[in-house]
Structure 1
Amino acid sequence: LGWTVYQTGTAAMSGAVFGGLCAYGILHYYEQKIHGGALSFRRFPLFKQPSKPLIRRFLVEGGLVSIYSGLLIFFQLIDSFFVKNALEVYGLSEYGAKIAKGVYDRGQPLVQLGLVIATALSATFLPALTRHLTNRIYRQFLQTAKIYLRLTTALALAASLGLALLLPYINYALFKDYAGNAALVLFVFSIAFTAVIQAYQSIAQSKNSFRPSLKGAGWGLLIKGLTTSFLTGLLGTAGASLSTLLGLGVTLWYFVRIETKELNAFWKERHFGRKLMFSLLCMTVVLLLYYGVLNIVFGPVTHRSTAFFVSVIGVGIGASVFIYAVIRLRLFTVREWLMLPFGKKILRLNKKIKK
């Protein structure tokens, strides 16, 4: 339309407003259908002074949810201060550093998309965890928390690895070049770290444990801030991605360290870790074979539309192989499958295949 990049960006960002209004409309419709308007704003005294304990809970608990939902955005804020200057130290010109930083920022929307599942699982499990603790059913709480961690870890690792393997084609489909592949491949593994961190944080919050969660985020941000300039100056944008993984790794390590051995044992129970690694290996091998066949038969991809279709087919192949391996190895119990979106349909499909 002949707009400037700023006008185009403004129009693109306005999609968030319209998307939010659409989401509100859907939720309002179902609230009316389920509760008959009992949760309408009209029924709440908006201008009444809330109690101090409620304000404190709102700030502490709401603040923690905000921090961990936007943890990668805080990391991106640190990048905005340090990465461009560090890239000049790495040897790029000022203009080249700006371009490289823009390429590096391509990873953010991809990672945020991958974290949608983790956020949905958090919203599903947090009320159940809190209810079990309120009713003092610790055994049920522990079992539910382990299920939460198993589902989150498996889905987040599969999403990270699948995205990393398909990233060259996704990069070309979205931006018409292969620039920054190494940095972006590293960066997408932050999906796995962030998703598992969110799971541990939700479990801690359900136990009304807030200070350790703040410390965990603080340690992660500190490590990210201390290592970004050094690693970026040494390795370029790949170093910036590595500093993000280091910061998230420290936060995750902190949560694992403060949790009980019983909870952390989820990785070893029923050989979960070994089965998950084998399932991921199966997916990796099949996707690499898919890559090889494409390169031999069709050669390198030169059109964005082709790269897009190759990516979509790759997602379907990778997801199918992973789900098949997970079912065959019995990585999840029937109860765990039923907690997943489309889990019931996958189980039905599996029964039909066996017949």
Structure 2
Amino acid sequence: METKKYHAFWRGAIILTIASFVTKVLSAFYRIPYQNIAGDIGFYIYQQIYPFYGFCLILATYGFPIIISKMIAERLERGERKEAEAIICISFWFLLAIGIIGCSVLFFGAHTIASLMGDANLEKLICVIAFSFLLMPFLSVARGYFQGFGNMIPTAVSQVIEQTIRVSIIVFLSLFLIKKGVDLYTVGAGAMFGSIAGGFIGVIVLLFYLRKDFCSIFLQSLKGISNKKTIIRTLFWQGIAICVSNLVLIFIQMADSISLYSLLVQNGEPVEIAKMLKGVYDRSIPLMQLGTVVTTSFSLSLIPMITAAKERGDQVFIREKIQLAIKITFVIGLAASLGLASIIRPTNIMLFANGNGSVVLGILAVSILFSSLAITTASILQGLGQTVKPALFVVIGACVKLLLNYMFVPYFGVIGAAVATVIALLCIAILNSVLLIQVVNEPLIQKKPIVGVTIGALSMVLVLAGFMYMFERFGLQANEAHRGLAAIQALLCVGVGGLLYVFLILKLQVFTAQELGAVMKHEKVQTSLKKSG
């Protein structure tokens, strides 16, 4: 029986990890063709509003479903199925009320919000994205229901289909609208419609899985249900805490949406130039997202193991896996940050057609390491039962970002905003790390691996700098007229730099034989479970 539960646990964790990875990659990738279609000003328009959708998406994917599934699983463990179904019903009506409030605030406050952002034309985009909050209760409760009963398939399928439909509509509808010659704000509204359509399809997929149980569970009478206030309190506060902990990059984007464009205009930039500068600055978002997803996907796969070890009280195992997760994040995050910063100009041209803003993007590339550490440490802390403080640290980081924007942007423009982002993410990573050290009472990483990683990273940077110099000497420097050459240069540098870095990491024994063996064993467990499924 225990073996079956173990296999079911791992199978579910693997399914959700794969689905999460796919959706995050899609979420980062589509921005590149969208920028190519709509241009920097069109990209600015879209990114000004995206944080509102991103907040709703995290609520419906991570925050509320996790808490609902946890409460359901606890009741089922005690054999209280009726109480578990009552939680679903209460959660649905409570979140529906929150969704209606969120939709109303955005829809009727769209003009005020757009004015605060310094661009009244954003009003119709805010009105469109407001309706995403009406989909949130259906997505949250249905996913929490299935996860609580140990069935991860509906959640994974709905996430992947929702994101695929969303991305497809955004790209193809944007192409269609641009060819029709409509204004860029209408194109942005069309992209926001794609997000709503994707969420609606996700609801339909979940309702299909729920077709037999929807009425009996979701529409039951609330009168006979006890502990309603306790359920609502737990759902709201813990759901919000988990949600905020996963909103690191969204909060940073929100701070820029609120302040960056308006600050540029206030300090003398013409309106159209300020929009273009913000759009160029926003090119960093898919790069940061992709870098963070790749960096954290390896370390976050260890989180279910840490959570399971906490349940059985295995402190030694917890410490070992936490140190391994942090080491993996540091090793990959440092390589991604410094490697991308070293080849940012050809990468910028390859992805976005020109090299505008390469210096700014190079600074922001450094933040991949800090955002990865912030997300990994927050996830570990959640697995250890710490939910409130990581959420508070994200809010503190967002406030630091906003404050530094007001301090730096008037003097340094978008470069100041980039530096503010790096500092804010560094603050979150440090706060999480200090708390994690206190919780486990152990250092998160030893000195020897730090030395080895530093040598490997600096060697990689020097070799990449040499490659870039050779390209320039032979007249093959990346430029807008030869986008294909920029792609060759960027991809060649990725291959050479990556191979060198991996070789040095292994040569300098950054990972012990035991750690490498544990990772391989972990992969074998995942492979065998996939086959058994």
- Shorter-chain TM range is 0.7 to 0.9
Kept after mapping to 2: 8 A contact 1:232/1:239 = yes
Q: Of 216, 226, 245, which aligns to 1:68? A: 245
The answer to whether 1:182 aligns with 2:349 is no
Q: Normalised by the size of structure 2, how large is the TM-score?
A: 0.56
Q: Of 318, 326, 334, which aligns to 1:141? A: 318
TM-superposition CA deviations, 1:293-320 (whole Å, max 9, x none): 1111233323111111211111111111
Share of identical aligned residues, percent? 25
- Aligned letter for 2:350? A
Match of residue 300 from structure 1: 477
- Aligned letter for 2:406? S
Kept after mapping to 2: 8 A contact 1:190/1:245 = yes
- Aligned letter for 1:138? Q
The answer to whether 1:314 aligns with 2:493 is yes
TM-superposition CA deviations, 1:254-297 (whole Å, max 9, x none): 1223232666623325x011111001011101111111111112
Kept after mapping to 1: 8 A contact 2:341/2:365 = yes
Quick check: 162-171 or 91-100, which moved more? 91-100
Match of residue 265 from structure 1: 443
Rg larger for? 2
Kept after mapping to 2: 8 A contact 1:231/1:243 = yes
In the TM superposition, 1:150-229 aligns within 5 A as 150-229=327-406
Deviation at 1:322, TM superposition (A): 0.7
Whole-Å separation in 1 of the counterparts to 2:301 and 2:390: 20
Whole-Å separation in 1 of the counterparts to 2:202 and 2:332: 24
TM-superposition CA deviations, 1:222-261 (whole Å, max 9, x none): 1111111221111110100111112112212212232326
Deviation at 1:180, TM superposition (A): 1.1
Match of residue 36 from structure 1: none
Match of residue 269 from structure 2: 92
Q: Of 289, 313, 316, which aligns to 1:112? A: 289
In the TM superposition, 1:279-298 aligns within 5 A as 279-298=456-475
Kept after mapping to 2: 8 A contact 1:279/1:325 = yes
- Aligned letter for 1:133? K
Quick check: 58-67 or 68-77, which moved more? 58-67
- Aligned letter for 1:199? T
Quick check: 119-128 or 182-191, which moved more? 119-128
CA gap of 1:323–1:96, structure 2 versus 1, over 3 A, is same
CA gap of 1:174–1:224, structure 2 versus 1, over 3 A, is same
Aligned residue-pair number: 332
CA gap of 1:81–1:290, structure 2 versus 1, over 3 A, is same
Deviation at 1:87, TM superposition (A): 1.8
TM-superposition CA deviations, 1:143-177 (whole Å, max 9, x none): 11110100011111111111111110111122232
Whole-Å separation in 2 of the counterparts to 1:304 and 1:22: 37
Whole-Å separation in 1 of the counterparts to 2:409 and 2:365: 17
Whole-Å separation in 1 of the counterparts to 2:200 and 2:517: 30
TM-superposition CA deviations, 1:110-165 (whole Å, max 9, x none): 11111112442354122111111111111111111110100011111111111111
Deviation at 1:206, TM superposition (A): 1.5
Match of residue 417 from structure 2: 240
CA gap of 1:334–1:237, structure 2 versus 1, over 3 A, is same
Deviation at 1:105, TM superposition (A): 0.7
CA gap of 1:339–1:186, structure 2 versus 1, over 3 A, is farther
Kept after mapping to 1: 8 A contact 2:241/2:388 = no
Kept after mapping to 1: 8 A contact 2:277/2:414 = yes
Whole-Å separation in 2 of the counterparts to 1:318 and 1:8: 39
Match of residue 31 from structure 1: none
Quick check: 321-330 or 253-262, which moved more? 253-262
Kept after mapping to 1: 8 A contact 2:242/2:382 = no
Quick check: 127-136 or 9-18, which moved more? 9-18
CA gap of 1:264–1:253, structure 2 versus 1, over 3 A, is farther
The answer to whether 1:326 aligns with 2:487 is no
Whole-Å separation in 2 of the counterparts to 1:107 and 1:66: 23
Whole-Å separation in 2 of the counterparts to 1:318 and 1:180: 23
Match of residue 131 from structure 1: 308
Segments of structure 1 that go 5 or more residues without pairing to the other structure are: 29-39, 346-355
Deviation at 1:85, TM superposition (A): 2.4
Deviation at 1:10, TM superposition (A): 6.6
Kept after mapping to 2: 8 A contact 1:75/1:224 = yes
Whole-Å separation in 1 of the counterparts to 2:352 and 2:321: 42
Segments of structure 2 that go 5 or more residues without pairing to the other structure are: 1-175, 525-533
* Secondary structure of residue in 2 paired with 1:323: helix
Quick check: 231-240 or 84-93, which moved more? 84-93
Whole-Å separation in 2 of the counterparts to 1:142 and 1:290: 41
Deviation at 1:100, TM superposition (A): 0.8
Kept after mapping to 1: 8 A contact 2:281/2:414 = yes
Kept after mapping to 2: 8 A contact 1:266/1:272 = no
Quick check: 180-189 or 115-124, which moved more? 115-124
Whole-Å separation in 2 of the counterparts to 1:208 and 1:6: 44
* Secondary structure of residue in 2 paired with 1:247: helix
Pairwise CA RMSD: 3.3
* Secondary structure of residue in 2 paired with 1:265: coil
Whole-Å separation in 2 of the counterparts to 1:94 and 1:251: 33
Kept after mapping to 2: 8 A contact 1:132/1:140 = yes
TM-superposition CA deviations, 1:63-103 (whole Å, max 9, x none): 34433333212211111121112223444222221111111
- Aligned letter for 2:338? L
Deviation at 1:344, TM superposition (A): 7.8
- Aligned letter for 1:86? L
Whole-Å separation in 2 of the counterparts to 1:320 and 1:18: 42
Q: Normalised by the size of structure 1, how large is the TM-score?
A: 0.81
Quick check: 175-184 or 46-55, which moved more? 46-55
Kept after mapping to 2: 8 A contact 1:122/1:198 = no
Kept after mapping to 2: 8 A contact 1:337/1:343 = no
